A = this chain, B = another copy of it.
Amino acid sequence: MSSTQMLKGIIDGCILAIIHNKEVYGYELAEKLEEYGFHSFSEGTIYPLLIRMQKEELVTSTLKKSTAGPRRKYYSLTPKGELELQKFMERWHQLESSVNRVLHHESDTGQ
């Protein structure tokens, strides 16, 4: 049971949420995730994930020149990506509720 295992299936949604707010490039994403409190985040996680999400048509990308380094690949959400973000948020809130009920030993009243 490690901290990284708990991220499985969650990073995707977080990345969608960040891109939804404003188009970003991969390197920037790593920094933003740090700001939000996710530590020790690997680029070996982020780049393959972005490529996977583009294959699934959740995001699109465009290359733009950088002022200090190689070109950046900026990502934006597709309509399908927006929908997936909505679904993620539902699943997240569901999970959050369930885990907190377990930790506080409360049953699911179905609200």
Whether the Cβ atoms of B1 and A13 lie closer than 8 Å is yes
Whether the Cβ atoms of B17 and A9 lie closer than 8 Å is no
CA distance A5 to B7 in the complex (A): 9
Whether the Cβ atoms of A6 and B8 lie closer than 8 Å is yes
Chain B residues with CB under 8 Å of A63's CB are: none
Chain B residues with CB under 8 Å of A48's CB are: none
Q: Which residues of A (3-31) have their CB < 8 Å from a CB of B? A: 3-10, 12-14, 17-18, 21
Residue of B nearest to A110 (CB): B37
Q: How far is the CB of A33 from chain B (nearest CB, A)?
A: 8
CA distance A96 to B10 in the complex (A): 11
11 additional A-B residue pairs with CB within 8 Å, beyond A6-B92, A8-B9, A33-B102: A2-B9, A5-B8, A6-B95, A13-B99, A17-B105, A35-B107, A36-B102, A36-B107, A37-B98, A37-B108, A96-B96
Between-chain CB contacts (< 8 Å), 13 pairs: A3-B9, A3-B95, A6-B9, A6-B91, A7-B9, A7-B95, A14-B99, A17-B105, A33-B102, A36-B107, A37-B94, A37-B97, A92-B99
